[in-house]
């Protein structure tokens, strides 16, 4: 398979400084938060790439840079071989961006409460003066709703139904890549399964490529073709689901898997995750995980590990062997 998305050295830094006068009075300099730091990854066409990690690890920031809602501070994103920030042919960039859609975490917050569902779904096509006749009704039926629902407002639906509407809107422009930012975290467990099954079916039917952003390891095990584990904005491990779940290499991945609930784990005793995520404004030197790592050595505190291949895995750990 070919890499549909290529991310190289991707970084994003936010200026979180106080106003100028406050800094002068308090004699403080500017403060910068590194949300994403030198991430490299490839997403193959017609596959699902999952990004997992604790809250604040930079998953959503990567997704927003990929769709163009945020600009990278460093590095680059290529989709279909087009560098979205450096390409001078704006028509080519617009075409590639038209192949990308996003499904947000909160379905109600991402739907205009004043618009009817029909107008919400066809908006990506209407802005390009495309044919919208009967489009909303067809897409609603494809995602398991009724064509008559097109005349209703978002508040008339349940959470799972609203997420189906968001999926229908994402499909309206016939995208090739959909970035799914925690698409089921706001839903009940039974509804989560329905939405995930729907997404899997649509992937096969339309030949879609997914970037799935989630903290739910049970979701990625059954949906993802490739999994990337993020910690403090850094990609620390990447592998296929079988390899990652059976032989995790990075201590952080091992900690996540040990802490995850398991159906066959009734009565098991597991040590809770140790420590807290460090301050991203002032990250620790060397490996960012070393303050919480049970096997950390001096080299971990001094030198940042580069991600490297190790068998079927890519891992950023000095002691992965």
Quote the crossing angle between the two packed helices 135-142 and 117-126, to the nearest 10°: 110
Alpha-carbon distance 150 to 138, whole Å?
10
SS3 of 57, please?
A: coil
CB distance 229 to 256 below 8 Å:
yes
- Give residue 264's pLDDT: 58
Q: In what order do the strands lie in the sheet with 3-15?
A: 32-44, 3-15, 74-79, 82-83
Choose from 74-78, 214-218, 269-273 the range with maximum mean pLDDT: 74-78
Question: What's the pLDDT tens digit per position in 181-202?
Answer: 988 887 777 788 888 888 999 9
pLDDT digits (tens, 9 = 90+) for 133-165: 899 999 999 998 999 999 999 999 988 899 999
Interval 58-65 mean pLDDT? 92
- Residue 37 CB burial class (10 angstroms; 0-12, 13-18, ≥19): buried
DSSP H helices in the chain: 20-26, 59-67, 90-97, 117-126, 135-142, 159-172, 189-206, 217-223, 241-246, 251-259, 298-302
78-86: average pLDDT: 88
DSSP 8-state assignment for residue 235: E
In the block, residue with structure tokens 């597991």: 270
User: 0.85 cut: is pTM over it?
Assistant: yes
3-state helix, strand, coil in the chain (%, to 5): 35, 20, 45
Residue 271 pLDDT grade (very low, low, confident, very high; cuts 50, 70, 90): low
Nearest of 120, 102, 106 to residue 65 by alpha carbon:
102
pLDDT band at residue 116 under the 50/70/90 scheme: very high
Phi, psi of 233 (to 5 degrees): 80, 5
Instruction: Tell me which residue has tokens 């467990």.
Output: 189
69 touches 5 (CB < 8 A): no
All domains in the chain, ordered by first residue: 3-99+175-261+273-315 (3.40.50.300)
pLDDT tens digits, 157-186: 988 899 999 999 999 989 999 999 988 887
Torsion sign (Cα): 200, 179, 176, 121: positive
Q: Is the pLDDT of residue 111 over 60?
A: yes
């Amino acid at each position: 398979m070919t890499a549909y998305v290529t991310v190289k050295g991707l970084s994003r830094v936010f200026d979180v400084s106080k106003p100028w006068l406050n800094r002068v009075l308090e004699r403080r300099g500017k403060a910068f938060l590194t949300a994403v730091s030198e991430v490299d990854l490839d997403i193959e066409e017609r596959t699902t790439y999952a990004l997992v990690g604790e809250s604040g690890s930079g998953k959503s920031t990567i997704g927003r840079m990929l769709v163009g809602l945020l600009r990278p501070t460093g590095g680059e994103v290529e989709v279909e071989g087009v560098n979205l920030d450096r390409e001078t042919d704006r028509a080519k960039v617009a075409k590639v961006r038209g192949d990308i859609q996003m499904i947000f975490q909160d379905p109600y917050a991402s739907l205009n409460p004043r618009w009817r569902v029909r107008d919400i779904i066809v908006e990506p096509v209407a802005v390009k003066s495309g044919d919208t006749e009967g489009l909303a009704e067809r897409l609603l039926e494809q995602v398991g709703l009724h064509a008559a629902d097109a005349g209703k407002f978002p508040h008339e639906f349940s959470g799972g139904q609203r997420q189906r509407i968001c999926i229908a809107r994402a499909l309206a422009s016939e995208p090739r890549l959909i970035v799914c930012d925690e698409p089921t975290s706001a839903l009940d467990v039974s509804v989560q399964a329905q939405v995930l099954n729907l997404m899997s079916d649509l992937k096969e039917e339309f030949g879609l490529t997914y970037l799935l952003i989630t903290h739910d390891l049970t979701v990625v095990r059954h949906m993802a073709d490739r999994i990337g584990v993020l910690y403090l904005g850094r990609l620390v491990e990447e592998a296929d689901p079988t390899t990652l779940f059976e032989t995790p290499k990075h201590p952080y991945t091992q900690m996540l898997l040990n802490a995850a609930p398991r159906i066959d784990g009734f009565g098991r005793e597991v040590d809770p995750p140790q420590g807290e995520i460090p301050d991203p404004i002032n990250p620790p030197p060397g490996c960012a995980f070393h303050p919480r790592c049970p096997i950390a050595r001096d080299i971990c505190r001094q030198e940042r590990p580069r991600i490297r291949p190790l068998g079927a895995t890519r891992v950023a750990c000095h002691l992965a062997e």
